[in-house]
Structure 1
Amino acid sequence: MWDNAPLLRSISSALVSFSVLAVLYGAIDYAVHLPRLLPISKVKLSAAPERLVAGDVLARVKSEVRGNFFTVDIEHLRKSLEALPWVRKVSIRRQFPDSLILQFEEHQPLARWNDAALVNVQGEVFEAQTGQVLPGFIGYAGSSAEMVQQYAKFSEQLAVLGLRVTQLALSPRHAWQMHLSNDMEVELGRAELQERLARFVAVYPYSLGEMRETTSPDSKTVMPVTGQKLKVEYVDMRYRNGFVVRMRHGNA
């Protein structure tokens, strides 16, 4: 046996391999089962949060971090932090020997969603509390991204009139309606949205807008012969060659 060179080489290789594996296993076992080795003792934010409370972030990290620098579950921590209000995304990286660096992307609210949540500028619905004055979106599930895109287009068209969309509604039949900052409702329907709104913008200064011009220092509506105040309440732009107006009667 001892004169069998190939056999001896095989035994020697096996012993070396076993020794290497034993050392590696021991090192891994030592790192895994001894969290006191290189513990996470520092958490750093790459930038000051705008809406997040740093104390809430640190408290969440403290409650979720398990293990040491090598064994901490980064993915679990990331998901836990993204469950915090106002957090859209978070990236986490280790910094040797004892630190975690957190970088947050916060939600930027654009509108309120069905009076129950918020919509960010990417069209994603999220839940958070804010006292910020925002337009309202009324839509069905899955329509928020499209509503954000149309809101931007409508806002650009209305800017020349100094008007803003205060509420935008999209029905399940895909019909669009908006409430403007001058307290006027505009019906656009399901097709030719930009064209219909362009006609509204074109006629507003010469007809719809004039009905709302001040005729006296304390009045913002025209005064007919009867002395009754009139105010444009609703405009239906779904007609190809014109539009329908509904007036609001009485003091407004």
Structure 2
Amino acid sequence: MNRSQPSAVPFDVRLMNITATVLFMGCLALLVAALGWWLMRTPAFNIGRIVVEGELQHNNAVTLRANVAPVLKGNFFTVNLKSAKETFEQVPWVREAQVRREYPNGLRVILKEHTAEAFWGPETGSGLVDNAGEVFEANLGELDREGLPRLQGPEGSAPRMLKMYRQMVPALKPLDVSVDGLVLNARGSWQMTLDNGAALELGGGTHEDVMQRVQRFVRTLPQITSQYRRTAEALESADLRYEEGYALRLKGVTTGSSPAAAAARARR
């Protein structure tokens, strides 16, 4: 028994069906794109709420929103989070910002502020060093700490200098003096100023080399000052760059007819 074979669909009919499907899908895609374009630009999705979080000591959440919101471009869907993050991080005292969207029209911002640990650069500047060794600029009138030391060194040396300062603080504690300033010059040599105005030449080398000289100085200075019935407060200057000892000058101590303060020598 012969069965009739189904007739093949003519090529022109298949071509029309394919064309119709393509046109339909194209129109649908355009419709979806137009709807998305409208939704992303409708006022309903404008940034209307910015929640600021974090331990803020030098910034006010209300002021931050007022100053940053007008700078942000786009709405909930189109705002560039990376640009928003950079905008917040340009605010004085802000060290790091995390920005994320919160539906339907909000942003949540988590801020971390700098914690100043030292002044940076010349006294005429407004540079500061935070507790991570990062240099930043801020209004010095907003400092909430007093007695910060001043660090001065080549560009990029702030972390190294902060490390050295932190090592100096406990090393000098037996003398009951503190660091007022620390300088690292271009040749890698260190100078230190104490809170009583004394200037110390520490020399160069590794941190360990410098600390060994300082520790030797702290260990033997009381022996020298006691000979002149003085304390560390009488120290005017010291040069620790000698291999076998150091030279120092004490206030109120003179030798012979010299009107200047004496230069005493101490050996290991």
Question: Do structure 1's residue 107 and structure 2's residue 114 form an aligned pair?
Answer: yes
**Could you say which residue in structure 1 is the equivalent of 2:198?**
184
> In structure 2, do the counterparts of structure 1 residues 12 and 184 end up closer, same or farther at CA, with 3 Å as the change threshold?
same
**Could you say which residue in structure 1 is the equivalent of 2:95?**
88
Q: Which has the larger radius of gyration?
A: 2
> In structure 2, do the counterparts of structure 1 residues 211 and 185 end up closer, same or farther at CA, with 3 Å as the change threshold?
farther
Given candidates 104, 112, 134, the residue that maps to 1:97 is 104
Contact 2:238 2:248 in 1 (8 A): yes
CA deviation digits over 1:176-213, x for unaligned, max 9?
Answer: 01112343222111121111111112113332477574
Q: CA deviation at 1:67?
A: 2.8
Unmatched runs of 5 consecutive residues or more in structure 1: 215-219, 222-230
Given candidates 51, 57, 76, the residue that maps to 2:58 is 51
- Structure-2 separation of matches of 1:101 and 1:239: 58
Given candidates 170, 173, 183, the residue that maps to 1:156 is 170
Q: CA RMSD in A?
A: 2.6
**Could you say which residue in structure 1 is the equivalent of 2:219?**
202
Unmatched runs of 5 consecutive residues or more in structure 2: 1-8, 254-268
Q: Secondary structure at the match of 2:220?
A: helix
- Structure-1 separation of matches of 2:189 and 2:242: 14
Given candidates 238, 242, 252, the residue that maps to 2:241 is 238
Contact 1:31 1:70 in 2 (8 A): no
Question: Do structure 1's residue 23 and structure 2's residue 37 form an aligned pair?
Answer: no
The number of aligned residues is: 235
Q: CA deviation at 1:82?
A: 1.4
- Structure-2 separation of matches of 1:188 and 1:94: 53
Q: Secondary structure at the match of 1:10?
A: helix
Contact 2:55 2:113 in 1 (8 A): no
Contact 2:50 2:107 in 1 (8 A): yes
Structure-1-length-normalised TM-score: 0.82
Letter in 2 for 1:242: G
Contact 1:87 1:105 in 2 (8 A): yes
Question: Do structure 1's residue 121 and structure 2's residue 131 form an aligned pair?
Answer: yes
